[in-house]
Chains A and B, each alone.
Chain A
Amino acid sequence: QVQVQQWGAGLLKPSETLSLTCGVYGGSLSGYYGGWIRQPPGKGLEWIGHINYSGSTNYNPSLKSRITISVDTSKNQFSLKLSSVTAADTAVYYCARGHGDYESGYYYYYMDVWGKGTTVSVSS
């Protein structure tokens, strides 16, 4: 059974860089996307971005200037860096394995395996 495990620093000061890594176990990342999602306290889910096995990325336009998602295929891992964090970046950050395909002529995308989440707090 495929699992993802995530790790990284949970307490940051304003202007620092958030860095999280997600490892895929029990299966390959090949053919899938590695995605990042966050959820501020008491709020809904926000898609941050994803990367495919070849290293092609897709970022949320509102965060694009500050985020970098990378992949290490040799380790079956992908990572998120978010620069110049502020209190507004305080959230639970999730990684997830994503997959896209077509059915009846329509494209669909889903995230089927999720990490447990990392609570990131930004405070001076």
Chain B
Amino acid sequence: SSELTQDPAVSVALGQTVRITCQGDSLRNYYASWYQQKSGQAPVLVIYGKNNRPSGIPDRFSGSSSGDTASLTITGTQAEDEADYYCNSRDSSGNHFVFGTGTRVTVL
């Protein structure tokens, strides 16, 4: 079982804001990275570190962290943002890495 817990699914109206959370003890000491995975495709990095976006990722994606929870926020959600989102960070031992359970975002 994953040591990083995410809500299984969230829905958001087109143009609105959605926040996806990732909870785990290790997040008190390590930042999470976030990945977007569309159906049948490889994951794509969208956020890493404190709040960094790779080149080509729209600025409507942002990250934050507080205590044992990391968050990915999509502001002004677009239809193309519909996908599964996974967080990734160290496990509770700090020695290995683990993915979150994943959140499916549906755009209404």
Residues of A within 8 A of B (CB): 37, 44-47, 50, 58-61, 94, 101, 103-104, 106-112, 114-117
Cα distance A61–B94 when bound, in Å? Answer: 12
- Which chain A positions have C-beta within 8 A of B97? 47, 50, 58, 109
Decide: B45 and A112 in contact? CB cutoff 8 A: yes
**Chain B residues with CB under 8 A of A112:** 45, 48, 54
Seen from chain B, the residues whose Cβ lies within 8 Å of a Cβ on chain A are 2, 29-33, 35, 37, 42-45, 48-50, 52, 54, 84, 86, 88-90, 95-102
Least Cβ distance of A32 to chain B in Å?
13
Cα distance A18–B84 in the bound complex, in angstroms: 27
A-B contacts besides A44-B2, A106-B29, A111-B45, 13 pairs, CB < 8 Å: A44-B101, A44-B102, A45-B37, A50-B97, A103-B31, A103-B52, A106-B31, A108-B31, A111-B33, A111-B35, A111-B43, A114-B45, A115-B42
**B-side contacts of A106, CB under 8 Å:** 29-31, 50
Contact A44 B42 (CB under 8 A): no
A115 to B44, alpha carbons, bound, how many Å?
Answer: 10
Please report the C-alpha to C-alpha distance between residue A112 and residue B33 in the assembled complex, in whole angstroms.
10
CB-based contact A104/B88 at 8 Å = no
Q: How far, in angstroms, from A111 to B42 measured CA to CA in the complex?
A: 12
Contact B31 A107 (CB under 8 A): yes
Given contacts A45-B43, A45-B102, A109 and B33 within 8 Å (CB-CB): yes
In contact, B50 and A104 (Cβ under 8 angstroms)? yes
Could you say which of B33, B43, B49 contacts A94, with CB atoms under 8 Å apart?
A: B43
Q: Are B88 and A47 in contact (CB under 8 A)?
A: yes
List the B residue with the shortest CB-CB distance to A60: B96
Closest to B98 in A: A47
Report B73 CB to chain A, min CB distance, Å: 18
Interface pairs A-B: 5 shortest CB-CB: A110-B48, A108-B31, A110-B33, A45-B99, A44-B102
CB contacts (< 8 Å) of B29 on chain A: these are 106-107
* Residues A109 and B42 in contact, CB atoms below 8 Å apart: no
User: B96: which of A61, A94, A101, A107 is its contact (CB, 8 Å)?
Assistant: A61
Contacts of A108 in B (CB 8 A): 30-33, 48-50, 89
